[in-house]
Amino acid sequence: MAGGWLSLLAATCLIDLRRFPAAAARLRTAAQFAKDTEHQEIAAWRLETEAWQLLTTGDYRRALELAADQPEEAGHAALTAITSGLLVPSNYWRAAEVIRALEARCLPEAAELHEAYQELCSR
């Protein structure tokens, strides 16, 4: 499992450094790991990281389409991350983004996710 998370971390760093081909390779590694192990949380965070890469290149339409395709999955992954106790403060903003997107669509998962997020932030 660490290999999938490390691939996502490396992809995030490479995106921030604008090394997109290397980041894309790391994202493919994470996607394959998630598929092989059926690890839904890594699969969802891989999609989020891919959306981040699209945003940094200014491809807002594709980033929005990617996020819009699977809002329930994004909400489930965010809830899993929040309640796992493994989410670090530097990634809280990512969970907040998912919450805002679900609330904007009036999805029922938003309330539970928002409550879990508030509890996380109060610790």
From first to last of the 123 residues of the chain, give the pLDDT tens digit. Answer: 788 889 989 998 998 888 899 999 999 999 999 888 888 888 888 888 888 788 778 776 776 677 667 777 677 777 877 888 877 787 788 788 888 888 888 888 889 999 999 999 998
What is the residue-wise DSSP string for 34-81?
HHHHT-HHHHHHHHHHHHHHHHHTT-HHHHHHHHHH-HHHHHHHHHHH
Q: What is the DSSP letter of 122?
A: T
At 108, list the tokens.
């029922």
Model pTM greater than 0.85?
no
Looking up tokens 């980033």 gives 63
- Asked if 81 contacts 97 with a C-beta cutoff of 8 angstroms, the reply is no
Question: One-letter amino acid identity for 114?
Answer: H
